[in-house]
């Protein structure tokens, strides 16, 4: 699930990219990158609102609805770093346009899906396309500008992503109520055509981008990482579902852990040539920020999946109303993040990250007041606003802290890894929602409250990671000078 809060993780990829030749049409290049990345933002936001309609139309069970999200998140999380490496090797524009084409074709397949198996397969292909287009669109954005111009371009991109995050759930809900859930995938097609056409016309790869000059691809690392994530996600989905833990879930968990161990061994052997260089984890601060990202974005993703589902299934909201219920979130994030970022610049990242995580936990506890027949204004809105304020305080300094936590050789890998970890948090959270999505009536409300308590605990644990592992301002500055 992609929301406007993921912008904080993604902009690091643009900021970590090296400058290339100045583009002749800078504004059009910026527009091309905005359109391209908006494909992933729109798709991630609207599918959550469409889950009840998809389940009814295609006769989906709880596990099927989970995989409607995770079939997309799994390849996106596992292949995000490989997608960036492919851009380095074969050209960022070429790989980005290929990703757009894959994403568009898969979107059309989703819209035409005659059954759940078809839909889940097409969602997985969408995730592959997103893993190709996202890192390369951001690398093109970062490489096309330098100095103050880069800061303005990244700010414009982030603002556009926030607007997309605000509009997408509302637009998706309106389409679902008016013409059906298949149209939430069809709206990707004109955006993809515009993005690909503009990229082909105005984006140029630097001459140095050739297969001979690029680092070798970490195919074995990508395969083992994907296997580990897939097996563990499937195991969690089965164990957290109505059937509970089983022999199959245990076997999948064991195979996932074995693949994860193999992944670690391969990456350690490859060193700085690995998809995830082991040198990243020499930084205690980077480890703390990665754990914070996993916990915080996992909790947020759980809310973004379960809240609209609850509002539609138990509170009688239309899909449009459920999408509108989430509207304050991207608005508050966009409005409050600049001030929170400035505050973090004065205080250092540790306090804002810890305090923001704690405020987010309070917002999840306020969600315990949400029931089947309560008022939006007195029950839903206060929880959404407090979660939004807490996330604004936490996500604003996150990118800067991640880039400052490692030396200069690893900034691109660190920002890409942090973005992948944010998606992995959503992957894990969605895998754990099986029992909630299988519930109805009062049982669904009870499961939502239980999920809110777990999410609050995850946010408090994220705050503890910041307090214990992220350095203060003076130490962070020293670390940045060492890099």
DSSP string over 79-100? HHHHHHHHHHHH-HHHHHHHHH
In a domain, 129, yes or no: yes
Reported residue count of the chain is 483
In a domain, 334, yes or no: yes
State how far the Cα of 393 lies from the Cα of 351, in Å rounded to an integer: 10
CATH of residue 413's domain is 1.20.1250.20
* Residues 287 and 250 reside in one and the same domain: no
* Three-class SS state of 275: coil
* Residues 112 and 201 reside in one and the same domain: yes
At residue 383's C-alpha, the angle toward residues 377 and 384, to 5°, is: 85
DSSP class of residue 470? S
In a domain, 246, yes or no: yes
* Residues 105 and 127 reside in one and the same domain: yes
* Residues 260 and 368 reside in one and the same domain: no
* Residues 324 and 457 reside in one and the same domain: yes
In a domain, 219, yes or no: no
Q: Long-range contacts for 435-438 (Cβ within 8 Å, ≥24 apart)?
A: 435/62, 435/240, 435/241, 435/242, 436/62, 436/306, 436/309, 437/51, 437/62, 437/65, 437/66, 437/306, 437/309, 438/61, 438/62, 438/241, 438/242
CB-count burial class (<10 Å; 0-12, 13-18, 19+) for 265: exposed
Written as tens digits, the pLDDT of the chain (483 aa) is 546 666 667 667 766 666 554 456 778 888 999 999 888 888 877 898 999 999 999 988 877 888 999 999 999 989 988 888 888 888 889 999 999 999 999 999 999 999 999 999 999 999 999 999 999 988 888 777 777 777 788 778 877 877 787 788 888 999 999 999 999 999 999 999 999 999 999 888 766 544 445 567 888 988 999 999 999 999 998 888 888 888 999 999 999 999 999 999 999 998 888 888 888 888 899 999 999 999 999 999 999 999 999 999 999 999 999 999 988 988 888 888 778 878 887 888 999 999 999 999 999 999 999 988 878 999 999 999 999 999 988 887 887 888 888 887 778 788 888 888 999 999 999 999 988 998 988 999 999 999 999 999 999 999 999 999 998 764 444 344 333
In a domain, 468, yes or no: yes
Contact 356, 459 (CB under 8 A): no
State how far the Cα of 142 lies from the Cα of 198, in Å rounded to an integer: 17
In a domain, 368, yes or no: yes
In a domain, 192, yes or no: yes
Domain closes at, from 232, 250, 274: 274
* Residues 238 and 340 reside in one and the same domain: no
State how far the Cα of 75 lies from the Cα of 208, in Å rounded to an integer: 29
Q: Of 86, 96, 103, 99, whose CA–CA distance to 33 is shortest?
A: 96
* Residues 414 and 357 reside in one and the same domain: yes
* Residues 264 and 339 reside in one and the same domain: no
Domain closes at, from 274, 290, 315: 274
Treating both helix axes as pointing N-terminal to C-terminal, what angle do 26-58 and 188-202 enclose, rounded to 10 degrees? 160
How many structural domains does the chain have? 2
Domain that holds residue 190: 4-205+275-482
Residue whose token pair is 């851009």: 87
State how far the Cα of 193 lies from the Cα of 282, in Å rounded to an integer: 43
* Residues 240 and 375 reside in one and the same domain: no
* Residues 393 and 256 reside in one and the same domain: no
* Residues 245 and 190 reside in one and the same domain: no
* Residues 150 and 232 reside in one and the same domain: no
């Amino acid at each position: 699930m992609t929301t406007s809060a993921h912008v904080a993780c993604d902009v690091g990829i643009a900021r970590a990219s090296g400058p290339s030749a100045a583009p002749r049409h800078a504004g059009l290049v910026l527009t091309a990158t905005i359109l391209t990345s908006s494909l992933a933002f729109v798709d991630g936001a609207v599918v959550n609102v469409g889950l009840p309609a998809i389940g009814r139309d295609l006769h989906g069970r709880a596990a099927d609805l989970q995989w409607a999200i995770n079939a997309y998140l799994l390849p996106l999380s596992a292949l995000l770093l490989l997608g960036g490496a492919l851009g380095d090797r074969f050209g960022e524009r070429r790989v980005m346009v290929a990703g757009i084409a894959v994403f568009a074709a898969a979107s059309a397949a989703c819209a035409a899906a005659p059954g759940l198996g078809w839909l889940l397969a097409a969602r997985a292909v969408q995730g592959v396309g997103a893993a190709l287009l996202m890192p390369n669109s951001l690398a093109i954005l970062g490489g096309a500008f330098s100095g103050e111009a880069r800061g303005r371009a990244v700010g414009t991109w982030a603002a556009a992503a926030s607007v997309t995050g605000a509009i997408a759930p509302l637009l998706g809900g309106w389409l679902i109520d008016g013409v059906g859930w298949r149209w939430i995938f069809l709206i990707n097609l004109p955006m993809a055509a515009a993005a690909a056409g503009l990229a082909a016309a105005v984006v140029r790869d630097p001459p140095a981008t050739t297969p001979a000059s690029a680092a070798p691809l970490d195919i074995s690392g990508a395969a083992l990482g994907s296997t580990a994530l897939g097996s563990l996600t499937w195991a969690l989905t089965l164990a957290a579902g109505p059937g509970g833990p089983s022999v199959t879930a245990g076997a999948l968990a064991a195979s996932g852990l074995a693949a994860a161990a193999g992944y670690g061994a391969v990456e350690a052997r490859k060193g700085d040539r690995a998809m995830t260089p082991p040198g990243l984890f020499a930084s205690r601060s980077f480890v703390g920020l990665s754990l914070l990202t996993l916990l915080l974005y996992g909790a947020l993703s759980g809310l973004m999946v379960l809240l609209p589902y609850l509002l539609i299934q138990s509170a009688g909201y239309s899909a449009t109303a459920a999408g509108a219920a989430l509207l304050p979130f991207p608005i508050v994030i966009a409005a409050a993040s600049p001030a929170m970022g400035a505050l973090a610049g004065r205080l250092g990242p540790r306090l804002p990250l810890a305090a923001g995580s704690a405020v987010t936990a309070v917002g999840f506890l306020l969600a315990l007041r949400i029931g089947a027949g309560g008022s939006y204004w007195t029950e839903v809105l206060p929880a959404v606003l407090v979660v939004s304020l807490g996330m604004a305080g936490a996500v604003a300094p996150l990118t800067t802290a991640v880039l400052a936590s490692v030396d200069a050789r690893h900034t691109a890998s660190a920002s890409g890894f942090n973005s992948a970890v944010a998606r992995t948090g959503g992957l894990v959270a969605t895998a754990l929602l099986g029992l909630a999505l299988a519930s109805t009536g009062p049982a669904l409300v009870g499961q939502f409250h239980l999920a809110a308590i777990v999410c609050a605990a995850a946010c408090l644990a994220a705050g503890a990671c910041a307090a214990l592992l992220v350095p203060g301002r003076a130490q962070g500055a020293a670390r940045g000078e060492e890099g």
